[in-house]
């Protein structure tokens, strides 16, 4: 198991939620104090450096026009960490290719980070969440096709070393592509793509890229991972290795249960803060019409309803692992076995008002007491044994799903 | 009045066309809300015209052709459609986004049309780059959008009264509208330089309370089209044909016949 420390670099110093309609897209930047913002950036950079010291890998992402993640350009943070860190892998998950205007720019930025870090970049490509359609001014319809076309151009840009080539696709045109620098890793950095359904998992499996699942929990994980594994087996003739799959959850580890709950509640800000009305969560063509209709009715997430995920239901769902080291290990192990296994754990280890000290304590306990056991777990992975274990675990869909996670259910 | 619906196969796409009534041809292009041929105003018009109303691909549950990217694809499809329908001296009437489509067709050729009617149409930018000439329907809260689009918001379609299948069609209509109008938003920057080519009598009909594209927008649009006139209909919003069908039909008939 490889564990990756992740924080969204939020700006939680906000007025009361009742005073604004949305935390994303239209929240005025008068609520952002650059003095506080500077402190935040440095604190988050310190957290990633701490993660490296603790033996964890690093995960970064980007979002736009939102206080939930004040990294509108992930290459900037990655560039700093490429210089400041020495050993950790740096995962960007990811570059929102559907919403970025020029894939060749992304190819250049990622190649730079790979070279500066001497080959420590893991490069993720994502479609982007629905709320980013407005900031990018990009129609979400056919966003997945658009993402894969950008991907094709980037891969070719990274792997062509004999002068310019021509690319005139449906969405992206570049007639003299000749990217400098070329990537440090050959032929290019490892690729990750977020997946949210068996359908979106298939092309990722075909490419043998890492498929990363965010917060699908018990109700969703099997269908997604199975979609990946089935396609991988069909295409490549062997079972997908564990390291091809990743799962992202909120994780808080503490010395005792009461402290763990308190930390978990703080971490839950990531979900409770996500107040987004329907006009931003349901842009045309992001969701399939049947799903879009449910969102428009307010029946499911993102419809401007108060989001009330509780720690208990999110733990039951498998979106939050929280407790003492023993408890957290057992929770992750249970989910791991239920899912059929995965080799990458993406840890949202900090959110909202969780302090540096609290985060450090949690990640220290994780790295010293949980991580070694997770490594043993994956080291002893046996495909047949896993199938038997999993078969003995009945499908869990009768948990309170809350209203969160729909934006990842694609 | 029930009309007949035929599916017309054209190169690259098929189009459903509703026909009702008899008389001079009235070629009706619906807006982003979806087909209008089943509305009461259309029945009234069918007493004077042969109403010929295509359903834009992507609306009313129809598929968006794979090669479609924007409004130009619809415009070229309709050039073919107008040939297939053998339109002759037709009155072309377009609502909102359909009005924009009608204008794009008219600047290409008026050979098959005798008159043009634009109802709360989009298609041009009349203000500066920081003026929001056309409300951003995709970024507006639903209740605010209803207030913008309707003189009497109580008349706006109520999702609570719709079946799941109808709600799904509302959403797929939105996708089609997005495809046709996303960027440049609801307009073609080149159009003002082409409007001089419209050489048929043109009437703009506008709901006085339209907050999506205001009557001032309509007047500016009107001033760009040679000889065009505008009539503003009181107590109506973005869909005067729905809120004031009587006055609306009267204006259409007196202009077109």
Q: What are the start-end ranges of the H helices in B142-239? A: 142-149, 164-181, 215-224
Chain B residues within an 8 Å CB radius of A137: 183
What is the C-alpha separation between B60 and A331, in angstroms, rounded? 47
DSSP assignment of A257-274 equals: HHHHHHHHHHHTHHHHT-
- In CATH, what number is assigned to the domain containing residue A304? 3.20.20.30
Sequence-separated (6 or more) residues with CB below 8 Å from residue B139:
A25, A26, A134, A279, A280
Sequence-separated (6 or more) residues with CB below 8 Å from residue B180:
B32, B56, B58, B70, B71, B74, B97
If one counts every other C-beta atom within 10 angstroms of the C-beta of residue B63, the result is: 12
End-to-end CA distance of chain A: 26
Domain positions in chain B are: 4-256
pLDDT at A396: 82
Q: Residue A375's closest CA among A333, A334, A323?
A: A333
Please answer whether residues A83 and A137 qualify as being in contact, where contact means their C-beta atoms are separated by less than 8 angstroms. Answer: no
What is the C-alpha separation between A211 and A202, in angstroms, rounded? 9
Which domain covers residue A48, as residue numbers? 2-408
Q: Is A297 on the interface with B (CB under 8 A)?
A: yes
If one counts every other C-beta atom within 10 angstroms of the C-beta of residue B110, the result is: 17
If one counts every other C-beta atom within 10 angstroms of the C-beta of residue A206, the result is: 14
φ/ψ (deg, to 5) at B203:
-120, 130
Q: Residue B53's closest CA among B104, B94, B23?
A: B94
pLDDT at B2: 80
Tokens of A398: 């009768």
Cβ pairs A/B, distance under 8 A:
59
pLDDT at A300: 58
Q: Indicate yes or no: CB of B171 within 8 angstroms of CB of A292.
A: yes
Give A24's DSSP letter: B
Q: Is B135 on the interface with A (CB under 8 A)?
A: no
What is the C-alpha separation between A17 and B195, in angstroms, rounded? 49
Tokens of B82: 């107008």
Q: Looking only at Cα atoms, what is the longest distance across chain A?
A: 61
What is the C-alpha separation between B31 and B36, in angstroms, rounded? 8
What is the C-alpha separation between A223 and A246, in angstroms, rounded? 14
Rounding to the nearest 10 degrees, give the CA dihedral for residues A25, A28, A34, A38: -20
Q: Is B170 on the interface with A (CB under 8 A)?
A: yes
**Residue whose token pair is 């899912």:** A339
What is the C-alpha separation between B236 and B207, in angstroms, rounded? 5
Please answer whether residues A346 and A194 qualify as being in contact, where contact means their C-beta atoms are separated by less than 8 angstroms. Answer: no
Q: Residue A277's closest CA among A13, A24, A16?
A: A24
Tokens of A289: 């019409």
- Distance from the B62 Cα atom to the nearest Cα atom in chain A, whole angstroms: 12
Tokens of B169: 């069609």
Interface mutation target, options A149, A279, A286, chain B, most CBs of B under 10 Å:
A279
Angle at B12 between CA B6 and CA B17, to 5 degrees: 20
Chain A residues within an 8 Å CB radius of B171: 284, 289-290, 292-293, 296
Nearest CB neighbour to B141, from listed A170, A277, A297: A277
Tokens of A300: 């499911």
Q: Indicate yes or no: CB of B139 within 8 angstroms of CB of A292.
A: no
**CA nearest to A304 within chain B:** B141
pLDDT tens track for B117-152: 999 999 999 999 999 999 999 999 999 999 999 999
Q: Indicate yes or no: CB of A25 within 8 angstroms of CB of B142.
A: no
pLDDT at A297: 81
Rounding to the nearest 10 degrees, give the CA dihedral for residues A85, A152, A341, A314: 80
What is the C-alpha separation between B186 and B192, in angstroms, rounded? 14
What is the C-alpha separation between B9 and B63, in angstroms, rounded? 14
Q: Indicate yes or no: CB of A285 within 8 angstroms of CB of B159.
A: no
Query: Which has more confidence, B153 or A306?
Result: B153
Q: What is chain B's mean pLDDT, rounded?
A: 97
What is the C-alpha separation between A223 and A139, in angstroms, rounded? 28
H or E element, residue A333: helix A325-339
Sequence-separated (6 or more) residues with CB below 8 Å from residue B122:
B96, B97, B99, B100, B134, B181, B186, B187, B213
Q: Indicate yes or no: CB of B178 within 8 angstroms of CB of A139.
A: yes
Give A98's DSSP letter: G
The CA–CA distances, whole Å, from A233 to A194, A204, A222, A237 equal 19, 12, 16, 5
Residue A194 forms beta bridges with which residues?
Answer: A212
Please answer whether residues A240 and A212 qualify as being in contact, where contact means their C-beta atoms are separated by less than 8 angstroms. Answer: no
Chain A residues within an 8 Å CB radius of B139: 25-26, 134, 279-280
Chain A residues within an 8 Å CB radius of B164: 290, 293
Q: Is B161 on the interface with A (CB under 8 A)?
A: no
pLDDT tens track for B166-225: 999 999 999 999 999 999 999 999 999 999 999 999 999 999 999 999 999 999 999 999
pLDDT at A410: 34
If one counts every other C-beta atom within 10 angstroms of the C-beta of residue A193, the result is: 25
Please answer whether residues B149 and B236 qualify as being in contact, where contact means their C-beta atoms are separated by less than 8 angstroms. Answer: no
- From the first residue on, what is the mean pLDDT of each consecutive set of 10 residues in chain A (410 residues)? 98 96 96 98 98 98 97 98 98 97 98 98 96 96 97 98 98 98 98 96 98 94 97 98 98 98 96 90 93 80 54 93 98 97 98 97 98 98 94 74 42
User: Per CATH, which fold does B4-256 belong to?
Assistant: Rossmann fold (3.40.50)
Please answer whether residues A89 and A82 qualify as being in contact, where contact means their C-beta atoms are separated by less than 8 angstroms. Answer: no
Confidence at B113, pLDDT banded by 50, 70, 90: very high
pLDDT at A294: 86
What is the C-alpha separation between A153 and A103, in angstroms, rounded? 7
Q: Residue A365's closest CA among A65, A69, A25, A54?
A: A54
What angle separates helix B164-181 from helix B71-84, to the nearest 10 degrees? 100
The CA–CA distances, whole Å, from A366 to A2, A51, A251, A373, B22 equal 12, 11, 9, 10, 78
Q: Indicate yes or no: CB of B139 within 8 angstroms of CB of A280.
A: yes
- Distance from the B176 Cα atom to the nearest Cα atom in chain A, whole angstroms: 8
Tokens of A285: 């063509």
pLDDT at A346: 98
**Residue whose token pair is 């709360």:** B120
Q: Residue A191's closest CA among A89, A105, A121, A122?
A: A122
């Amino acid at each position: 198991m490889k564990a990756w420390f992740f924080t969204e670099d939020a700006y939680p110093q906000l007025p009361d939620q009742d005073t604004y309609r949305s935390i994303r897209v239209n929240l005025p930047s008068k609520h952002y104090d650059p003095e506080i913002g500077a402190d935040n950036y440095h604190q988050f950079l310190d957290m990633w450096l701490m993660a490296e010291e603790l033996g964890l890998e690093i995960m970064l992402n980007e979002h736009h026009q939102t206080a939930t993640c004040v990294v509108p350009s992930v290459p900037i943070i990655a560039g700093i960490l490429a210089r400041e860190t020495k050993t950790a892998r740096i995962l960007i998950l990811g570059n929102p290719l559907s919403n970025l205007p020029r894939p060749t720019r992304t190819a250049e930025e990622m190649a730079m980070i790979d070279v500066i870090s001497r080959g420590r970049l893991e490069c993720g490509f994502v479609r982007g969440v629905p709320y980013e359609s407005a900031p990018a001014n990009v129609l979400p319809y056919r966003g997945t096709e658009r993402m894969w076309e950008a991907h094709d151009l980037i891969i070719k840009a990274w792997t062509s070393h004999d002068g310019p080539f021509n690319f005139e696709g449906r969405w992206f045109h570049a007639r003299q592509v000749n990217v400098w620098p070329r990537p440090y890793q050959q032929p290019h950095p490892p690729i990750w793509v977020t997946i949210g359904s068996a359908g979106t998992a298939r092309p990722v499996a075909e490419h043998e890229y890492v498929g990363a699942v965010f917060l699908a929990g018990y109700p969703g994980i099997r269908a997604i991972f199975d979609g990946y594994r089935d396609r991988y087996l069909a295409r490549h003739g062997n079972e997908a290795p564990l390291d091809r799959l990743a799962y992202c959850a909120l994780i808080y580890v503490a010395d005792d249960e009461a402290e763990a709950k308190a930390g978990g509640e703080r971490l839950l800000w990531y979900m409770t803060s996500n107040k987004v009305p329907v006009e931003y969560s349901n842009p045309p063509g992001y969701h399939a019409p049947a799903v879009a209709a449910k969102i428009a009715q307010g029946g499911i997430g993102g419809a401007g309803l108060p989001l009330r995920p509780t720690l208990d239901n999110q733990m039951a769902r498998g979106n939050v692992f929280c407790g003492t080291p023993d408890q957290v290990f057992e929770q992750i192990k249970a989910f791991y076995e239920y899912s059929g296994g995965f080799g990458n754990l993406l840890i949202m280890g900090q959110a909202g008002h969780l302090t540096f000290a609290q985060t450090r304590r949690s990640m220290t306990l994780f790295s010293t007491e949980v991580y070694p056991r997770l490594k043993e777990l994956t080291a002893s992975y046996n495909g047949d044994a896993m199938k038997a274990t999993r078969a003995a675990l009945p499908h869990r869909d009768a948990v309170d799903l809350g209203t969160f996670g729909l934006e990842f259910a694609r | 009045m029930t009309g007949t619906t035929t599916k017309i196969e054209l190169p690259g796409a098929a189009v459903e066309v509703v026909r009702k009534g008899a008389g001079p041809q009235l070629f009706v292009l619906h807006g982003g809300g979806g087909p209008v041929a089943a509305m009461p105003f259309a029945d009234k018009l069918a007493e004077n015209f042969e109403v010929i109303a295509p359903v834009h691909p992507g609306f009313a549950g129809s598929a968006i052709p794979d090669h479609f990217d924007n409004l130009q694809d619809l415009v070229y499809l309709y050039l073919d459609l107008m040939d297939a329908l053998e339109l002759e001296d037709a009155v072309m009437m377009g609502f909102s986004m359909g009005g924009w489509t009608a204008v794009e067709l008219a600047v290409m050729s008026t050979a098959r049309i005798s008159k043009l009617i634009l109802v709360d149409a989009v298609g041009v930018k009349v203000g500066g780059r920081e003026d929001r000439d056309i409300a951003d329907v995709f970024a507006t809260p639903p209740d605010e959008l209803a207030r913008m689009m309707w003189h009497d918001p109580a008349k706006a379609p109520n999702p609570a009264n719709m079946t799941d299948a109808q709600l799904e069609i509302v959403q797929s209509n939105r996708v089609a509208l997005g495809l046709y109008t996303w960027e440049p938003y609801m307009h073609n920057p080149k159009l003002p330089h082409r409007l001089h080519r419209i050489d048929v009598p043109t009437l703009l009909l506008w709901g006085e309370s339209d907050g999506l594209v205001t009557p001032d927008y309509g007047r500016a649009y009107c001033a760009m089209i040679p000889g065009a006139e505008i009539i503003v209909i009181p107590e109506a919003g973005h869909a005067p044909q729905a809120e004031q069908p009587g006055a609306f039909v009267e204006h259409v008939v007196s202009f077109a016949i």
